[in-house]
A and B are shown apart, each in its own frame.
Chain A
Amino acid sequence: MNDTLTTGSLTVKIIVLLIAALLLFAPFLFQDIRSLEVAARICVFIVLVASYDLLIGYTGIVSFAHTMFFGLGAYGAAIALRQMGPGWDAVLTGAVAGAFVSLILAIAIGLLSLRVKAIFFAMITLAAASVAMVLASQLSQFTGGEDGITYKAPDLFKPATKLAVTDDGKVARLFGVRLNGKLAAYYFVFITCLVLFLLMLRLVGSPVGTVLKAIRENEARAEAIGYRVVAYRTFVFCVAAVIASLAGTVYAIWLKYTGPDTALSFTIMIDILLMVVIGGMGTMYGAVIGAVLLVLAQYYLRDLMGSAAEALSNVPVLPFILEPDRWLFWLGIIFILLVYFFPQGIAGTLARKGDKA
């Protein structure tokens, strides 16, 4: 279905390319700190959500432990940078350690529960994720507990770093943008995320991806044909876990802070779920669309809701509805309606459109 080029799937691809272009030129197009923050968060979440889509969209299994892996990567980098000082060796150590622990955990959870019943898996990952959250807040000598950890990123990413200098020794500008460490940090995030995303696209397009689709369509049949369903699922779970962990590392380097709220909280898990469902499961491109929409909404719509509620404070009911604290309530409702009526999400629904024409 996705392989044939319909007008719908073409639209999806054009939208995704457009997003990629906007992200590529983001520092030049939106020259303020907050926009760059948003762009970096979008990059990281695209990878995070796409890796989750590998699981939910391509094998039909639901995991609630994805933030746990994200958090492992983030805390790995954070602890390494804190203990070893800002350097590339620390980044590498953190990334490898986080990915390795994620891999081990994913194998353990996968072998323990994927063999039994797919629905056990959801429950067990939820339990594992909650234990991880508790551990992070209890082992405060390593993790900083609820406060989290602040640390320095490698020198290259310091705002004071000059990538290029003018003749008089000042930071050079390109189209009015300072060529400093902040810019380098953004492009580090962008390129790493792009590479990870392309890797996942490659995986989905490979023969492995075809088997995964067969398993998703009809598990019993795939099993009967001779595919080892459990092995494939465990493999995908491991890949998704490692990629989520790497995304966590990248985000930790960008933020220069890691704490339960940015890396481990259940809210992030809910965000991922919302993004993948809104964007469209099992398409990869859906992850891009979902992540962009939701991050934008988080940063801008919430403020808008707040000011709207204030402006309408004299009108009955409306301020209550628009209250920024009600944000998650409305997202929840939208989420349920989407799962009922548009289970394929934006990307899936768009791609379908061309089919009929």
Chain B
Amino acid sequence: MDQLRMTLERFGGVNLLPVAVAAVAFVLIGAPSSWVTLTVAGLAMGMMIFLMASGLSLVFGLMDVLNFGHSAFVSFGAFVAASVLGWLAGWLGSDSVVLNAAALFAAFTAAILFGLAAGWFFETVIIKPVYHDHLRQILITMGALIVAEQIILAIWGGTPMNVPRPGFLEGSIIIGDVAIEIYRAFAFLLGLIVYVALFATLNRTRIGLLIRAGVENREMVEALGFRIDRLFVGVFMVGSALAALGGAMWAGYETLITPALGAELMIVVFIVVIIGGLGSIEGTLLGAILVGLVANYVGFLAPKLALASNMILMMAILLWRPNGLRPAVR
């Protein structure tokens, strides 16, 4: 038994969990082409959720701040991007791939800029007065979420909104009898790029070093002469911007969005962060991929169970590892 565990650890330990899930699903599903489609869908969904969840996890790890309003950034990102795409419908409709891409780029940039600004506002105005007070933090961020949702309702109305997609992301690539939606592949790639960038920042730069140290022991970093609170504003803004980007990606993925989107995704984001372990982006990625895969496999195998599957996954993992799969070292 111990030998088995050692071998597993050497090959990546808990990181193998998504692979194991995929293998079990392969056996259960039986049809390889369906399995590939579902796996790609799961990975794409996982990456988008990773974008939304990574900021929340880091913010909590660094400052012990849990922002229940985080999903507002996701919603705003989705609606801002959808509006920009709507205004640039002309560019989207043109035959030029460059104009298509420019419209998409503009939409994502708008979402990110909005996320940065909203993150700054949230951190300095809403959360700063209630550092170190979890109860009031939860209440205030919840209140902010209510207000943010009402603002979205007031601006965009309650009816579902169509999100136009650029032409070059429509359709599927067909390899043999396997069809892969291009948008899903795109979502996966973009998520991967963000993950690599985050990972490099955290592990190769001085700021990253400070963040990792701060997640472990905030006081000691301050006793070494660094203002964690100033660093925190930056982390909070980046986290919010990533959530907005995730929302923008999600809008293009769903192509029809409602103001309830943030609230629906918030549950998934929380589950991902809990499963992964708070404070580490490796854990968040692992949790997000797991949730994405399980949601898609179960949705295919037992549609009735699909919505409860995330919850069951979370319960199982918490029973096994109460602090999540890969929490930051404490």
A interface residue numbers (CB < 8 A to B): 56, 60, 62, 112-113, 115-116, 118-120, 122-124, 126-128, 130-131, 134-135, 138, 266, 270, 273, 277, 325-326, 328-329, 331-333, 335-336, 339-340, 343
Q: Are A332 and B150 in contact (CB under 8 A)?
A: yes
Checking A123, A134, A325, A343 against B270 with a beta-carbon cut-off of 8 angstroms, the contacting residue is A123
| Contact assessment for A138 and B143 in the assembled complex, using a CB-CB cutoff below 8 Å | no
**What 5 A-B pairs come out closest when comparing CB atoms?**
A329-B150, A332-B146, A332-B147, A336-B143, A335-B143
The reply to whether B154 and A326 contact each other, CB–CB distance below 8 Å, is yes
- Asked whether A62 lies within 8 Å of B138 as measured between CB atoms, the reply is yes
Least CB separation from B68: chain A residue: A122
Picked from B139, B146, B266, the residue with its CB within 8 Å of the CB of A277 is B139
B308 touching A112 by the CB < 8 A rule? no
Chain A nearest CB, measured from B72 CB (Å): 11
The distance in angstroms between the C-alpha atoms of A112 and B322, with both chains bound, is: 8
Q: Which of these, B129, B135, B304, contacts A138 with CB under 8 Å?
A: B304
A273: B residues at CB distance < 8 A: 139, 142
Nearest CB of chain A from residue B304's CB, rounded to whole Å: 7
Which residue of chain B has the shortest Cβ distance to A60 in the bound complex? B135
Q: Is residue B134 contacting chain A, with contact meaning CB distance below 8 A?
A: yes
Contact of B144 among A56, A113, A266, A336 (CB under 8 A): A336
Q: Can you list 17 A-B pairs, Cβ within 8 angstroms, ordered by A?
A: A112-B318, A123-B66, A123-B270, A124-B314, A124-B318, A126-B266, A127-B310, A131-B311, A134-B308, A329-B151, A329-B154, A332-B143, A335-B143, A336-B143, A336-B144, A339-B139, A343-B136
B213 within 8 A of A: no
**Contact partners of A120 in chain B: CB under 8 A:** 274
Chain B residue contacts of A134, Cβ below 8 A: 307-308
Contacting residues of chain B (96-155) with chain A, CB-CB under 8 angstroms:
126, 129-130, 134-136, 138-140, 142-144, 146-147, 150-151, 153-154
What is the CA–CA distance of A350 and B160 in the complex, to the nearest angstrom?
45
In the bound complex, residues from chain B placing their C-beta under 8 Å from that of A266 are: 263
* Complex CA distance for A113 and B314, rounded to whole angstroms: 11
Task: State in angstroms the CA–CA spacing of A128 and B267 once bound together.
Answer: 9
Overall SS of chain A's interface: helix
A129 closest partner in B (C-beta)? B267
Chain A residues positioned under 8 Å from B274 (CB to CB): 120, 123-124
Q: Which residues in chain B, 149-200, are within 8 Å of chain A measured between CB atoms?
A: 150-151, 153-154
Whether A126 contacts B140 in the complex (CB less than 8 A), given A112-B315, A134-B307, A333-B147, comes out as no
B144 to A126, Cβ gap below 8 A?
A: no
Name 10 extra pairs, CB < 8 A, besides A123-B66, A126-B270: A119-B134, A266-B263, A277-B139, A325-B153, A326-B150, A326-B154, A329-B151, A332-B146, A339-B136, A340-B130
Chain A residues whose C-beta falls within 8 Å of the C-beta of B143 in the assembled complex: 332-333, 335-336, 339
Inter-chain contact B66/A336, CB cutoff 8 Å: no
Closest chain B residue, CB of each to CB of A269: B142
A126 neighbours in B (Cβ, 8 Å): 266-267, 270
Chain B interface, >50% SS class: helix
| Distance (whole angstroms) from the CB of B215 to the closest CB of chain A | 15
Which residue on chain B has the smallest CB distance to residue A267?
B146
B323 within 8 A of A: yes
Q: Which residues of A sit under 8 angstroms from B318, Cβ to Cβ? A: 112-113, 116, 124
The answer to whether A122 and B322 touch (CB under 8 A), given A329-B147, A329-B151, A331-B146, is no
Interface residues of B (CB under 8 A from A): 60, 66, 68, 126, 129-130, 134-136, 138-140, 142-144, 146-147, 150-151, 153-154, 263, 266-267, 270-271, 273-274, 304, 307-308, 310-311, 314-315, 318-319, 322-323
Find out whether the CB atom of B322 lies under 8 angstroms from the CB atom of A116. yes
Question: Are B267 and A127 neighbours in the complex by a CB distance under 8 Å?
Answer: yes
Contact A335 B66, beta carbon cutoff 8 Å = no
A245 to B258, CA, bound (A): 32
Q: With A56-B135, A127-B270 in contact, do A135 and B308 touch (Cβ < 8 Å)?
A: yes
Please measure, in the bound complex, the distance between the C-alpha atom of A93 and the C-alpha atom of B325, giving whole angstroms. Answer: 42
- Of chain A, the residue at the smallest CB distance from B139 is A339
Q: How far is the CA of A336 from the CA of B138 in the complex (A)?
A: 11
Question: Considering the chains assembled together, what is the distance between the CA atoms of A123 and B263 in angstroms?
Answer: 13
How far apart sit A118 and B133, CA to CA, in the bound complex (Å)? Answer: 12
Roughly how many angstroms separate A112 CA and B311 CA in the complex, as a whole number? 13
Q: How far is the CB of A229 from chain B (nearest CB, A)?
A: 15
Flag if A340 contacts B129 (CB, 8 Å).
yes
Which of the residues A127, A128, A340 comes within 8 Å of B140, measured between beta carbons? A340
The residues of A that contact B144 with a CB separation of less than 8 Å are: 332, 336
Instruction: Give the distance to chain B from A324, nearest Cβ to Cβ, in Å.
Output: 12
Q: Are B146 and A328 in contact (CB under 8 A)?
A: yes
Give, as a whole number of angstroms, the nearest-CB distance from A306 to chain B. Answer: 16
- Indicate if the CB atoms of B323 and A116 lie closer than 8 Å: yes
Q: Return the chain B residue nearest A323 by Cβ.
A: B154
Q: Please, how many angstroms separate the alpha-carbon atoms of A339 and B151 in the complex?
A: 20
CA distance A122 to B139 in the complex (A): 11
Q: B323 contacts A62, CB within 8 Å? A: no
Which residues of the other chain, B, contact A62 by a CB distance below 8 angstroms? 134-135, 138-139
What is the minimal beta-carbon distance from A111 to any residue of chain B, in angstroms? 10
User: What chain B residues lie within 8 Å of A138 (beta carbons)?
Assistant: 304, 307
Residues of B within 8 A of A118 (CB): 134
> Shortest CB–CB separation between residue A293 and chain B, in angstroms?
17
Closest to A134 in B: B307
Return chain A residues, CB-CB under 8 Å to B60: 119
Shortest Cβ distance from A111 into B: residue: B319
In contact, A112 and B126 (Cβ under 8 angstroms): no
Report the bound CA distance from A241 to B150 in whole Å: 30
* Alpha-carbon gap, A328 to B142, bound state (A): 13
Among B66, B146, B308, the one with the most A-chain Cβ atoms within 10 Å of its Cβ is B146
Q: In the complex, which residue of chain B has the Cβ closest to the Cβ of A123?
A: B270
Q: For residue B63, give the distance in angstroms from its CB to the closest CB of chain A.
A: 12
Partner of B66, one of A122, A325, A331: A122
Q: Are B136 and A131 in contact (CB under 8 A)?
A: no
Q: Please judge, given known A-B contacts A62-B135, A127-B267, A328-B150, whether A336 and B308 are in contact too, CB under 8 Å.
A: no
Who on chain A is nearest to B273 by CB?
A123
What separation, in Å, do the CA atoms of A42 and B154 have in the docked complex?
A: 30
